[in-house]
Structure 1
Amino acid sequence: MTFRAGTAMLGHLGIEWNLLDANEEQKAIIANWLSHYKQHRSVLHQGNNWRLPSADGRAQTQWALSQDRLQGLAVYSQLAMPKQAQTLPVCLPNLWPDQLYRVEVLEHSPLPGHLMKALPAWWKKDLILNGASLSQVGLQLPIFDPESLVLLAIQAVPLMEKH
């Protein structure tokens, strides 16, 4: 469910499924994704959108950035097992280099315990990085099974919060 919804997030988020056949857990997952879609609709439809393949071709990132480059939404999808031991960092281009941004994990597929014992240090913390870091160095993500993903919200930090 998460992979299906996340894959459609930067499109029209069409359900294309008879919801009468969905159980309560599936309906709750769909409701969560619809809530994210509605909350970020202006970024998704009025911003700029990119499809960013990974260097090894085993993953892709769909990246939507508002026209003012102050908020964005990224869907990282693991399409097949990575060729290396860890996923490659995900770079989010076109952010203001000196602007600070808060990174928040909104949704993710179940994290496989058989692939990794620890999450990246920033995963459950309030991560704030400048646009240059997010664009050029990127984020290290956990290892996902194929057909898994993560939804990330990127939001500029207001000036008074920078101190």
Structure 2
Amino acid sequence: MVNPDSDLYRTHPDWVLKIPSAPLLLSRNQLVLDLTRDEVQSYLFARLNDLLNEYPINYLKWDMNRAIHQPGDQRGRAVGHEQTIGVYRLLSRIRDAHPDVEIESCSSGGGRADFGILAHTDRIWTSDNNDALDRLGIQKGFSMFFPSEIMGSHVGPNVCHLTDRQISMETRVGVSMFGHMGVEANLFELDDNQIKALKAGIELHKEHRDLIHGGTLVRLDTDTLEHSFGIVASDKREAIFSYTQIDSLQNSVGGSLLFVGLDKDRIYSIRIIWPEQPQSYSKSILDVINGSQISGEALINVGVQLPIMKPASLLVFHLLCVD
């Protein structure tokens, strides 16, 4: 991108994508540099290469933050595909020169989520919306095409900038830990209890990161008031399942969570590992669930009864084979 009120554009007005017979269309006060041109490629690589050599930078957020409305070159040819190949070519050159720099593909999240760019980047920013409840659906959709290990999922601030919703730190952490976890909150605005919960959640993510990033994702059918899924190890000796109560349930008794994907012939120990102090309107159910040893067949077909919880709260279960 380039701002028309810049030395670069004033020096090289021919370096932008445009339709010669049409006026230029700005978005965010920007035009789009024509990456099909070798001189543009060389200029951008030189600037980035200088920065990466001079400063200890280990992460680049490659944010393609405006749409291409006029995908034409100087001769009036449509070059939308060639522009995409140009992005890949520039990223490949940067990666070859700086193999230890982590690169994130971003464009309001999913605007730059494609399989081609994965050859040149390490992760994809899933969405600018980091509201934990909205993220449940966003991350489920993302998982239909991409693995969790490249899914940027961050713990957001106390108040989401897009929804104005306030969600507990425990729920924000419990949603974000199932991807490429990060923090996108001002730590100085968090109280001591929130800092404690955030630190504990990060440690929990690290403890189970290999399973979260390397296991088999199991999608579970739930109604609109709930959201559930699981991740099962390839040998089925370990699994982690998440249940979120999005809104108030209509029943006086909680439903059952089925642990699909386990080995029916094994015995599993089941523990609630998040949040550290689960809260519900029926604590006795949580006491019975926690630490129980149950057959895989029962967990798959009958499951465990869930408590009635407050809206926007969740439980994360860890299952480990004991036989």
Q: TM-score range by the shorter chain?
A: 0.7 to 0.9
| CA distance in structure 2 between the aligned counterparts of 1:97 and 1:45, rounded to whole angstroms | 23
Aligned partner of 1:101 in structure 2 is 268
Matched, 1:147 2:315: no
Aligned partner of 2:248 in structure 1 is 81
Structure 2 counterpart of 1:51, which letter? R
Count of matched residue pairs: 153
Deviation track 1:20-46 (CA, whole Å, cap 9, x = no partner) reads 322221111011111111111111001
Q: 2:198 aligns with which of 15, 19, 30?
A: 30
Higher helix share: 2
| CA distance in structure 2 between the aligned counterparts of 1:87 and 1:58, rounded to whole angstroms | 12
| CA distance in structure 1 between the aligned counterparts of 2:301 and 2:224, rounded to whole angstroms | 19
Matched, 1:128 2:293: yes
Return closer, same or farther for 1:110/1:69 CA change in 2, 3 Å cut-off. Answer: closer
Return closer, same or farther for 1:11/1:156 CA change in 2, 3 Å cut-off. Answer: same
Q: Please tell me whether the aligned partners of residues 256 and 306 of structure 2 are also in contact (alpha carbons under 8 angstroms).
A: yes
- SS of match in other structure, 1:64: strand
| CA distance in structure 1 between the aligned counterparts of 2:278 and 2:210, rounded to whole angstroms | 28
| CA distance in structure 1 between the aligned counterparts of 2:321 and 2:247, rounded to whole angstroms | 32
What TM-score, normalized by structure 1, do the two folds share? 0.86
Structure 1 counterpart of 2:174, which letter? G
| CA distance in structure 2 between the aligned counterparts of 1:52 and 1:19, rounded to whole angstroms | 34
Deviation at 1:110, TM superposition (A): 5.0
Aligned partner of 1:71 in structure 2 is 238
Percentage of pairs with the same residue: 25
Higher strand share: 1
Deviation at 1:86, TM superposition (A): 1.5
| CA distance in structure 2 between the aligned counterparts of 1:51 and 1:4, rounded to whole angstroms | 20
Q: Please tell me whether the aligned partners of residues 63 and 75 of structure 1 are also in contact (alpha carbons under 8 angstroms).
A: yes
What TM-score, normalized by structure 2, do the two folds share? 0.45
Structure 2 counterpart of 1:106, which letter? I
Unaligned runs of 5+ in 1: none
Q: 2:212 aligns with which of 38, 41, 44?
A: 44
Higher Cα Rg, which structure? 2
Deviation at 1:98, TM superposition (A): 0.9
Structure 2 counterpart of 1:67, which letter? S
Q: Please tell me whether the aligned partners of residues 10 and 62 of structure 1 are also in contact (alpha carbons under 8 angstroms).
A: no
Aligned partner of 1:61 in structure 2 is 228
Structure 1 counterpart of 2:176, which letter? A
Unaligned runs of 5+ in 2: 1-168
Deviation at 1:123, TM superposition (A): 3.5
**Structure 1 segments of 4+ aligned residues over 4 angstroms from their partners:** none
